[in-house]
Structure 1
Amino acid sequence: MASDHLEGSHARPSEKPLIESLFLAAGRRVALLAVASLLLIAVLTIANIVMRNTMSISLYGLNEISTLLVALAAAACLPYGLAVSASLEVDLVSHLLNDQGKRLFYFGAAVLGVIFFGVLGFEVWMTADRMAAGHQTTLMTALPVAPFFRIMAGAIGLGAIVMLSRAVSLALRAVRASSSSAVIVAGIAIFTAHMLLALFGVVDSSLYTYLKPDSPVALALLVVFAMWVLIMFMVPVGVAMGLAGLVGASALFGSSAGLGAIGSETTSFIVQDSLSVLPLFLLMGAFASVAGIGADLYRLSNALVGHIRGGLAFASILACAGFGTVTGSSIVTQMTIGRIALREMQDRNYSRELASGTIAAGGTLGQLFPPSSALILYAVMTEQSIGRLFIGALIPAFLAAGLYMSAVAIWLWLRPQDAAVGQRANFGEIANAVKGSWSVLLLIGIVLGGIYFGLFTELEAGAVGAVGAFVIALARGRLSVGNFWQTIGESTITLAMVYSLLFGATMLTFFFGISGVPQAFVDFLGNFELGPIGIVLILIAAYLVLGTFMDGFAMMLITIPIFVPLVHSLGFDPIWWGIMTLICMEAGQISPPFGLNIFVISSLDPNISLRQVYRGCWPFFASTIMKIALLLLFPSLVTWLPSAMQ
């Protein structure tokens, strides 16, 4: 089961050492100011758009400076995020362990976190030194880039100190508990210290060369196996991916080259224009949530379709689609609409299976309707256009909502007693609902329309979305000083989690590329003479299986470096495959036994059992399989709109 500390689903020992408490105070303030500065960047970007389109002048070099500042803001969130355990883990064993066993596992995970973030921070600093020695500057404004990366390296290094403090605290508690635990703690510490020293060439590394296979592909398989073992034993996914890539690259080309790669690859990856969009759209979603947009969209959807049998279920799906468009998050969409819709449906005697299945399925629309953080990550990792992916997702997203509503209709045709007929809204009620929702509908239209018609870039679209959602929240009187900083605080934790994943994925992607794994995978599947469609069906099946126990982000980051080159070599459009990947993620989120959305629904209402949620999700899972089949048969459902973009 995927577990994300942002949702509080994981039980970590609660006491925090002094240094972590200090970072919670100081780090929170730094992170809050860093993310708040994103709003200033967004405002300047909007000013630039207006000046460019009205006076044909621009703020010189704004885009390249903004990219560096956004990267700095994200890195500044890392120490605070790590201090509050903002990590993504796959938890399959904690329920089998007592408190002491959990503490030992967490100690091992913390030690590996110290190594990863410590090495990463050190190598980013060394890369900055090389940039300073080469007098590297920004292209347009000629600003030295080394100071930016030194600050970034310092933030990552502080994150390593946070992890070290946690490791020491866990070790001390384990040692006090029993002598056997003290032996295990000492063994973990000695082994990891020796590996680290061997990596830097301080001690002899010949002990590890005996484990190295002769073939790069065999080495890659060994590294991937070790990575999965770490992930299954509660090591944060980003740390497991990063260490796997670092060890693999060092084994192939020597530790010096591997260490140099983690610094150079990270610095080049984090300042990509396309990645800078992500924090801005995350900020847009945060302000959209505090503005109460979810309740307004649900009210509008209910006014339009609430009078038919099962109307609240239909309204929930429509509201999830609309709210997902402004948040880009499945979990936030499901929890926001779910809190409203579950209560409404239960008050009107809807069956628990129908109510829970509808919300669990509707929540998946949060990632499919653009702007989607998952699509942004796919675009960054595959060097595709974010705008084309956003536009390409529109028809499949509406198709998904339509198929979910069809599943409700078929359900009620077979079991009409599971939902009641609602009261038809009068014209005044519909008008009031439209009045409450017009601002967010306008914002969605401006963001997507601006991208489609080429009025502004994807980065500028993120700025428009963030400032627009902020203005809506402010105009509605929902944004007090306290709410503002709370919203910013939630964004800092999300950014810390996402970027810690990206740091690890960057190194893993580099290792897969140099080891020849994608081509070996192509050759291996080619031996079976399955044909292009047969191979794609195997990849889809792999995603459906992985989705039952892995978070969608982690699944994407691990598989994209292998799957996308294979799909591209078969002649398929990478935009089409990106949407297909996202739809497979959807299916995994509502697929028993470990679909993440199933557990979110269960947490929203303890009176709804997991068995009831399982039964409620099956019809919607079947409709997702039908959607996959339609996109396989008609790829133009994805590719038509992007081909018409300006």
Structure 2
Amino acid sequence: MLIVTLLILIGLLALAIPVAAGLGILGLSLSGIYSKLPLSLAMGEIAWGTSNNFLLVAIPFFVLLGEILLRSGMAERMYNALVLWVPWLPGGLMHSNIASCAMFAATSGSSVATAATIGTVALGEVEKRGYSERLFLGTIAAGGTLGILIPPSINMIVYGVLTETSIPKLYLAGFIPGVVLAALFSLTVLVICLIRPEMGGKPTSTSWAQRIAALPDLIPPLVIFLAVIGSIYAGWATATESAALGVIASIGIAAAYRRLTLRTLLNAFEGTMRTTAMIMAILLAAYFLNFVITSIGLTGQVNRFITSLGLSKVQLLIVVVLFYFVLGMFMETLSMMVATVPIIAPVMIAAGYDPIWFGIMIIILMELAMITPPVGINLYVVQGLRKKGRIDDVIIGTSPFVITMLLMLVALSLWPQIALWLPQMAATT
């Protein structure tokens, strides 16, 4: 049954069928082959039950938040302010790319939005300051992946809904790993530029007066982050309500900067509807597929198969990491999550792994999938912004950061408290 499922899935991917349609066709195919009852009759109820989930309302809010930040110019001012604080480091603006991605990630919840936004404002500096173009592109593509690890995160919401795990606890668990991974990205750039100084671009100078004058441009993303995350942990709002507060804060800040126009709002609404429709279509199709594979007994088969292998906890973790590493080369991350997490997560939890810790591991594996060819979405986002050359340059530029992410996975495996310390502290207070 598992072999048939994989063959159908590979065939659908090879035909380049849209993800939502492919998952739906896979569900209907498995129902027709293995079920005595027409499981398609449950599609309406599944679609209503899924789309009626209050937690999922947070998704369009976070998408809208990112759209407003991009279109109001707040992201550009934030980047230009950070540029003034890092010219003394080997690698210069490449550290600004990573820091800007981390700050934007703390408001947007999306890796693609993070890479696209920071890439739009940063790419003009490559030739102007003599950076290694490949490494510069790599910092944007890899830094953009922080959008789903540093809270708030759309993918964490999806994982929480799929596994019935606390979203606030996932947000807390993602904060320290997100900051650590951003620091490791900068350390990677630093080491490369110390070994190869010519890759670090021309050094620039700036005064303390300029740095201090630019600090107000860093306040808006911090205000939005506090509105979103602070309202959750202060007990004032749920994850969904905090997303709405973030939108209100972003609109207020855009109005204060006199960048809130009717055209800005209409463009933001249009982009939000397009992205939300895509995400929800994938989720609805994936929920139907999950219903089918549970009904036909595929989930039980996979669990029994893995149990029969007699793997230790460490061996099981290695197998799962390798599975997602390979699968991430060929599948889009959101569809990969909704198609596999309902099967893999119960196996890992039954083996004794904490569901919150495993959620952070999954998110980092999704980040890894965004910069591994041939389907790494951030690679194509950055190449699309670049509008010249070959995508090979972006792939080569991100390769050091793939190694950095793998090291982060090892660190989380050896020291789970990196992810679990904050949730445990919050539970005791």
Could you report, residue by residue, the CA deviation over 1:179-231 in whole angstroms, capped at 9, with x for unpaired residues? Answer: xxxxxxxxxxxxxxxxxxxxxxxxxxxxxxxxxxxxxxx2x542443233223
Could you report, residue by residue, the CA deviation over 1:255-299 in whole angstroms, capped at 9, with x for unpaired residues? Answer: 44x133222222222212211221211111111211212212212
Do the aligned partners of 2:379 and 2:391 also contact (CA within 8 Å) in 1? yes
Match of 2:61 among 266, 277, 280: 280
Structure number with bigger Rg: 1
* CA–CA distance in structure 2, aligned partners of residues 550 and 246 of structure 1: 20
1:245 is matched with which residue? 27
Given the alignment of the two structures, is residue 499 of structure 1 paired with residue 280 of structure 2, yes or no?
yes
Do the aligned partners of 2:332 and 2:375 also contact (CA within 8 Å) in 1? no
* CA–CA distance in structure 1, aligned partners of residues 26 and 329 of structure 2: 23
Q: Following TM superposition, by how much is the alpha carbon of 1:494 offset from its aligned partner in structure 2, in angstroms?
A: 0.7
Could you report, residue by residue, the CA deviation over 1:383-438 in whole angstroms, capped at 9, with x for unpaired residues? Answer: 11111111111011011101101110110121011113533432322223211221
Alignment of 1:123-522 (within 5 A): 218=1, 221-249=3-31, 252-256=34-38, 258-420=39-201, 422-522=203-303
Could you report, residue by residue, the CA deviation over 1:504-551 in whole angstroms, capped at 9, with x for unpaired residues? Answer: 011011122223323322322233322011111111111111112221
C-alpha distance 249-594 of structure 1, shift in aligned 2 (>3 A):
closer
Q: Following TM superposition, by how much is the alpha carbon of 1:452 offset from its aligned partner in structure 2, in angstroms?
A: 2.3
Say which SS state the counterpart of residue 16 (structure 2) adopts: coil
1:625 is matched with which residue? 406
* CA–CA distance in structure 2, aligned partners of residues 443 and 254 of structure 1: 52
* CA–CA distance in structure 2, aligned partners of residues 595 and 571 of structure 1: 31
Match of 2:304 among 523, 541, 544: 523
TM-score by length of 1: 0.64
Do the aligned partners of 1:513 and 1:561 also contact (CA within 8 Å) in 2? no
Say which SS state the counterpart of residue 305 (structure 1) adopts: coil
1:70 is matched with which residue? none
Say which SS state the counterpart of residue 331 (structure 1) adopts: helix
- Equivalent pairs: percent with the same residue? 31
Do the aligned partners of 1:307 and 1:422 also contact (CA within 8 Å) in 2? yes
* CA–CA distance in structure 1, aligned partners of residues 117 and 266 of structure 2: 20
The one-letter code of the counterpart of 1:568 is: I
* CA–CA distance in structure 1, aligned partners of residues 296 and 180 of structure 2: 39
1:69 is matched with which residue? none
Unaligned ranges ≥5, structure 2: none
Q: Following TM superposition, by how much is the alpha carbon of 1:251 offset from its aligned partner in structure 2, in angstroms?
A: 5.1
Do the aligned partners of 2:90 and 2:194 also contact (CA within 8 Å) in 1? no
* CA–CA distance in structure 2, aligned partners of residues 309 and 253 of structure 1: 61
Q: Following TM superposition, by how much is the alpha carbon of 1:323 offset from its aligned partner in structure 2, in angstroms?
A: 1.0
The one-letter code of the counterpart of 1:318 is: A
Say which SS state the counterpart of residue 304 (structure 1) adopts: coil
TM-score by length of 2: 0.94
Q: Following TM superposition, by how much is the alpha carbon of 1:319 offset from its aligned partner in structure 2, in angstroms?
A: 0.3
* CA–CA distance in structure 2, aligned partners of residues 253 and 525 of structure 1: 23
Say which SS state the counterpart of residue 554 (structure 1) adopts: helix
* CA–CA distance in structure 2, aligned partners of residues 412 and 273 of structure 1: 47
Could you report, residue by residue, the CA deviation over 1:72-107 in whole angstroms, capped at 9, with x for unpaired residues? Answer: xxxxxxxxxxxxxxxxxxxxxxxxxxxxxxxxxxxx
Q: Following TM superposition, by how much is the alpha carbon of 1:253 offset from its aligned partner in structure 2, in angstroms?
A: 4.7
* CA–CA distance in structure 1, aligned partners of residues 357 and 400 of structure 2: 25
Say which SS state the counterpart of residue 228 (structure 1) adopts: helix
The one-letter code of the counterpart of 1:455 is: W
Unaligned ranges ≥5, structure 1: 1-217
Q: Following TM superposition, by how much is the alpha carbon of 1:250 offset from its aligned partner in structure 2, in angstroms?
A: 5.4
* CA–CA distance in structure 2, aligned partners of residues 269 and 583 of structure 1: 25
Q: Following TM superposition, by how much is the alpha carbon of 1:252 offset from its aligned partner in structure 2, in angstroms?
A: 4.8
Q: Following TM superposition, by how much is the alpha carbon of 1:624 offset from its aligned partner in structure 2, in angstroms?
A: 0.6
2:384 is matched with which residue? 603
Do the aligned partners of 2:104 and 2:221 also contact (CA within 8 Å) in 1? no
Say which SS state the counterpart of residue 123 (structure 2) adopts: helix
Could you report, residue by residue, the CA deviation over 1:34-60 in whole angstroms, capped at 9, with x for unpaired residues? Answer: xxxxxxxxxxxxxxxxxxxxxxxxxxx
* CA–CA distance in structure 1, aligned partners of residues 412 and 214 of structure 2: 34
1:538 is matched with which residue? 319
Higher relative contact order (CA 8 A, sep 6+): 2
Q: Following TM superposition, by how much is the alpha carbon of 1:304 offset from its aligned partner in structure 2, in angstroms?
A: 1.6
Say which SS state the counterpart of residue 474 (structure 1) adopts: helix
The one-letter code of the counterpart of 2:288 is: M
* CA–CA distance in structure 2, aligned partners of residues 535 and 630 of structure 1: 17
The one-letter code of the counterpart of 1:332 is: A
Q: Following TM superposition, by how much is the alpha carbon of 1:562 offset from its aligned partner in structure 2, in angstroms?
A: 1.2
* CA–CA distance in structure 2, aligned partners of residues 589 and 508 of structure 1: 23
Say which SS state the counterpart of residue 307 (structure 1) adopts: coil
The one-letter code of the counterpart of 2:262 is: V
Say which SS state the counterpart of residue 66 (structure 2) adopts: helix
Say which SS state the counterpart of residue 620 (structure 1) adopts: helix
